[in-house]
Amino acid sequence: MYRILILLLIIPAILRAQPLTLKDAVEKSLLSNTEINQARAILKQKENEWRTLIGIEAPEVSYFEEGVNNKAAKPFEERRWTISQSVDFPLTSHYRVKASKQAFESFQYQVVAMENEIKVMVKSRYIEVLYALYLQELGKQQQKLAEDLYNAVYTRFETGVGNGMDLANAELLVAQAKNDLSDAERLLHQARYSLFYLMGLEKSEISYQIQFSDSLQTNDIGIRQIETLAVLEEQPTYLAALYEQQAAINQVKEAKSNILPDISFSLYRQNYGDGFDYNGFEVGLSIPIWLPFEQKGRIRIAEARQGEIQWKQKSIELDMKRQIEHAWHNYQTSKQTIDRYHETIQEKSQILQSLSLEAYRLGELDLLNLLNAQQTYLKNQKSYLIALRDYYLQLAFLEKFLNKELIY
């Protein structure tokens, strides 16, 4: 019994200690994200909506008496049980049901598009978390450099070589480094909770012990590959609009078929005084005398809706091309920055920073040049982190248009 209790206490801690990978975050969000689950619930409603649109009303059962006179030898003229049923014209019901099913297909693709969007957002937030973690590390490094600088300035001040102005500048740099570190920690908390919200985590599941894996892998890709893979006819938003247009076409047909009469049936069992021995029936047709008003208005609304969907499809096509072009150019720019950093900037800025501090200690360099060397080093580091973040963000964004995983 005690072993079971110990395991129940230890297992959650072990699970929390496991690093949260990018794949885990995406899978969790697709299961628990509130917006996705709302959309799936709506999809379930739409899947069964056509059953309510078949145009067959519930049958009506009625009892009827006529010529009732309790004082007469024959107390009534007629008694009657009636079953009545009304139905829409079959062609109208056919188009209405067909439009409903196509609207369901359209919403299915909208849900797929939402899932793709959630994947992009989760990956983007995960990248932002990693960026904030690295920025936090850089902030600690910046603080360490500022403290080393302060110690070097203070040593020179104590020996009478330095001056009070240099010492004040060094103290300000330490304070600024602490502020920058606090900002990095704030960004980290914002990115974490933004990610947790997308994942649909309960408050009890959120812990500061959640660790993030920084081993992201990518597939390099060029603009020609993107244009080849990003087939318009395979985009969920485009397919959703396509089915929406087909639904609009059938809504026009349904509106036009409303000029055809609806049909009603009635069956009777009649009693004229000697039992329910007689039968009767009635067939009725609705006469669309208000065609110039009601039906014509519905037809025009449906036709206008059809035109709206056609323009929506064109808008989707143009917007997709714009987004791909913009994302790819940003991706290319950030990749060039990363390559330059690895080829040249990283090594030389580190050498410049370490040599400058040593030269200042030996009195071979003034404080202004030392500060310039340190700021150059830190600026290059931050520029690299920003470029790395943008590189991954653009790849994650481009996944939305491709049937291929670019970052995992």
* 286 against 368, higher pLDDT: 286
Confidence (pLDDT) at 162 = 64
Q: 17-21, 177-181, 262-266 — which is least confidently predicted?
A: 17-21
Measuring CA to CA, how many Å separate 4 from each of 11, 18, 204? 10, 21, 22
Averaged over 165-186, what is the pLDDT?
86
Task: Name, of 34-48, 61-75, 341-355, the range with top average pLDDT.
Answer: 34-48
Confidence (pLDDT) at 393 = 87
pLDDT digits (tens, 9 = 90+) for 61-88: 998 888 787 777 777 788 889 999 888 8
Average predicted confidence (pLDDT) for the chain: 80
Q: 113-122, 250-259, 364-373 — which is least confidently predicted?
A: 364-373
Averaged over 181-190, what is the pLDDT?
89
Question: With 50 as the cut, is the pLDDT of residue 130 above it?
Answer: yes
- In this prediction, residue 107 has a pLDDT band, given cuts at 50, 70 and 90, of very high
Q: 56-65, 200-209, 299-308 — which is least confidently predicted?
A: 200-209
Question: With 90 as the cut, is the pLDDT of residue 111 above it?
Answer: yes
Share of the chain above pLDDT 70, in %: 86
Question: With 70 as the cut, is the pLDDT of residue 276 above it?
Answer: yes
Confidence (pLDDT) at 7 = 36
Q: Where are the domains of the chain?
A: 18-61+98-236+319-401
Question: With 70 as the cut, is the pLDDT of residue 334 above it?
Answer: yes
How far from the centroid of its chain's Cα atoms is residue 159's Cα? Answer: 62
Q: 12-16, 186-190, 230-234, 308-312 — which is least confidently predicted?
A: 12-16
Question: With 50 as the cut, is the pLDDT of residue 12 above it?
Answer: no
Question: With 90 as the cut, is the pLDDT of residue 108 above it?
Answer: yes
Confidence (pLDDT) at 339 = 83
Averaged over 292-316, what is the pLDDT?
80
Q: What's the 3-state SS for the chain?
A: CHHHHHHHHHHHHHHHHCEECHHHHHHHHHHHCHHHHHHHHHHHHHHHHHHHCCCECCCEEEEEEECCCCCCCCCCCEEEEEEEEEECCHHHHHHHHHHHHHHHHHHHHHHHHHHHHHHHHHHHHHHHHHHHHHHHHHHHHHHHHHHHHHHHHHHHHHCCCCCHHHHHHHHHHHHHHHHHHHHHHHHHHHHHHHHHHHHCCCHHHCCCCCEECCCCCECCCCHHHHHHHCCHHHCHHHHHHHHHHHHHHHHHHHHHHCCCCCEEEEEEEEECCCCCCEEEEEEEECCCCCHHHHHHHHHHHHHHHHHHHHHHHHHHHHHHHHHHHHHHHHHHHHHHHHHHHHHHHHHHHHHHHHHHHHHHHCCCCCHHHHHHHHHHHHHHHHHHHHHHHHHHHHHHHHHHHCCCCCEC
Confidence (pLDDT) at 58 = 82
Confidence (pLDDT) at 2 = 39
Share of the chain above pLDDT 90, in %: 7
Looking at domain 18-61+98-236+319-401, its CATH class is mainly alpha
Q: 13-17, 145-149, 202-206, 340-344 — which is least confidently predicted?
A: 13-17
